[in-house]
Amino acid sequence: MKKILLVAGCLSLLLFACNSRGGSKQKEEVKEPQSATEAVFDNNDYHTLSNANEVLGKHLALDIEVDFKQHSISGTATWDIEKQKAEADKFIVDTRALLIDSIKYGDGTKADFELGEADSILGAPLSISLKPETKQVKIFYRTTKSATALQWLEPAQTFGKKKPFLYTQSESIHARSWIPVQDGPGVRYTYNAKVKVPKGLMALMSAENPQTVSEEGIYEFKMNMPIPAYLMALAVGDIKFQAIDNRTGVYAEPEMLAKAHKEFEEVGAMVHKAEELYGPYRWGRYDILVLPSGFPIGGMENPKLTFCTPTILAGDKSLVNLIAHELAHNWSGNLVTNQTWNDFWLNEGFTIYFERRIMESMMGKDYADMLWEIGYQDLEAVVADLGKESEDTHLRLNLKGRNPDEGLTDIPYEKGGHLLRLIEQTVGRSKMDAFLTKYFNENAFKTMNTRDFTDYLNKNLLNEVTEWKAKVNINEWLYAPGIPRTCPRAGKLRFNKVDTATAQFLKGDMSFSQKTGKWSTFEWMHFLRKLSKTPLSPEQMKALDHTFQLTQTQNSEKADLWYLLALKSKYEPAYPAMEAFLMVTGREKFLQPLYKEMMATSEGATMARAIYKKARPNYHPLTQRVIDEIVK
Which of the stretches 1-9, 21-29, 371-379, 434-442 binds Zn ion when contact is defined by CB under 5 A? 1-9
Q: Does residue 470 sit in helix, strand or coil?
A: helix
> Is-catalytic flag, 367?
no
Residue 351 or residue 449: which is nearer to Zn ion going by CB?
351
Q: How far apart are CA 617 and CA 162, in angstroms?
A: 18
Interface with Zn ion (CB under 5 A), residue total 3
Q: 471 and 486 in contact (C-beta within 8 Å)? A: yes
Residue 344 or residue 505: which is nearer to Zn ion going by CB?
344
Exposure of 441 in the CB half-sphere (CA atoms within 13 A): 11
What is the nearest approach in angstroms of Zn ion to the Cβ of residue 589? Answer: 12
Residue 1 or residue 232: which is nearer to Zn ion going by CB?
1
According to DSSP, residue 53 is labeled T
Interstrand relation of 55-67 and 189-196 (parallel, antiparallel or unpaired): parallel
Q: 31 and 391 in contact (C-beta within 8 Å)? A: no
CA distances from 262 to 84, 250, 258, 316 (A): 49, 10, 6, 9
Q: How far apart are CA 204 and CA 63, in angstroms?
A: 14
Residue number, nearest CB to Zn ion? 1
Alpha-carbon dihedral 171, 177, 179, 181, rounded to 10 degrees: 70
Question: Which residues is 165 bridged to in the sheet?
Answer: 153
Q: What backbone phi and psi angles, to 5 degrees, belong to 171?
A: -75, 140
Which residues contact residue 554 at a Cβ distance below 8 angstroms, ignoring those fewer than 6 apart? 314, 315
Q: Note the maximum CA span of the chain.
A: 81
What is the nearest approach in angstroms of Zn ion to the Cβ of residue 351? Answer: 5
Helix, strand, coil percentages (3-state) for the chain, rounded to 5, are 45, 20, 35
Q: How far apart are CA 179 and CA 64, in angstroms?
A: 10
Give the count of beta carbons closer than 10 Å to the beta carbon of residue 584.
15
> Smallest Cα–Cα separation from 576: which of 546, 604, 551?
551
What is the nearest approach in angstroms of Zn ion to the Cβ of residue 270? Answer: 16
Residue 286 or residue 505: which is nearer to Zn ion going by CB?
286
Residue 221 or residue 331: which is nearer to Zn ion going by CB?
331
Site membership for Zn ion, residue 128 (CB under 5 A): no
What is the nearest approach in angstroms of Zn ion to the Cβ of residue 5? Answer: 13
Q: 256 and 279 in contact (C-beta within 8 Å)? A: no
Residue 298 or residue 593: which is nearer to Zn ion going by CB?
298
What is the nearest approach in angstroms of Zn ion to the Cβ of residue 474? Answer: 21
Residue 348 or residue 385: which is nearer to Zn ion going by CB?
348
> Is-catalytic flag, 571?
no
What is the nearest approach in angstroms of Zn ion to the Cβ of residue 477? Answer: 19
Site membership for Zn ion, residue 312 (CB under 5 A): no
Site membership for Zn ion, residue 1 (CB under 5 A): yes
Q: How far apart are CA 307 and CA 169, in angstroms?
A: 9
> Smallest Cα–Cα separation from 354: which of 323, 378, 391?
323
Q: What backbone phi and psi angles, to 5 degrees, belong to 502?
A: -60, -45
What is the nearest approach in angstroms of Zn ion to the Cβ of residue 323? Answer: 12
Residue 47 or residue 568: which is nearer to Zn ion going by CB?
47
- The CA-CA-CA angle for residues 375, 377, 382, to 5°, reads 95
Selecting among 413, 439, 595, 612, the annotated active-site residue is: 413
Residue 141 or residue 341: which is nearer to Zn ion going by CB?
341
Q: How far apart are CA 375 and CA 358, in angstroms?
A: 16
Residue 287 or residue 348: which is nearer to Zn ion going by CB?
348
Q: Mask of contacts with Zn ion, 360-389, x by CB under 5 A?
A: ------------------------------
Q: Does residue 328 sit in helix, strand or coil?
A: helix
CA distances from 213 to 220, 236, 261, 310, 559 (A): 12, 11, 19, 22, 36
What is the nearest approach in angstroms of Zn ion to the Cβ of residue 116? Answer: 32
Q: Mask of contacts with Zn ion, 324-363, x by CB under 5 A?
A: ------------------------x--x------------
Residue 608 CA to chain centroid, in angstroms?
26
> Smallest Cα–Cα separation from 451: which of 42, 39, 52?
42
What is the nearest approach in angstroms of Zn ion to the Cβ of residue 148? Answer: 19
Q: 162 and 155 in contact (C-beta within 8 Å)? A: yes
What is the nearest approach in angstroms of Zn ion to the Cβ of residue 412? Answer: 9
Q: Does residue 70 sit in helix, strand or coil?
A: coil
Residue 1 or residue 122: which is nearer to Zn ion going by CB?
1
What is the nearest approach in angstroms of Zn ion to the Cβ of residue 460? Answer: 24
Helix (H) or strand (E) holding 225: strand 218-227
Selecting among 171, 253, 263, 326, the annotated active-site residue is: 326
Residues serving a catalytic function are 326, 413
**Contact residues for Zn ion (CB under 5 A)?**
1, 348, 351
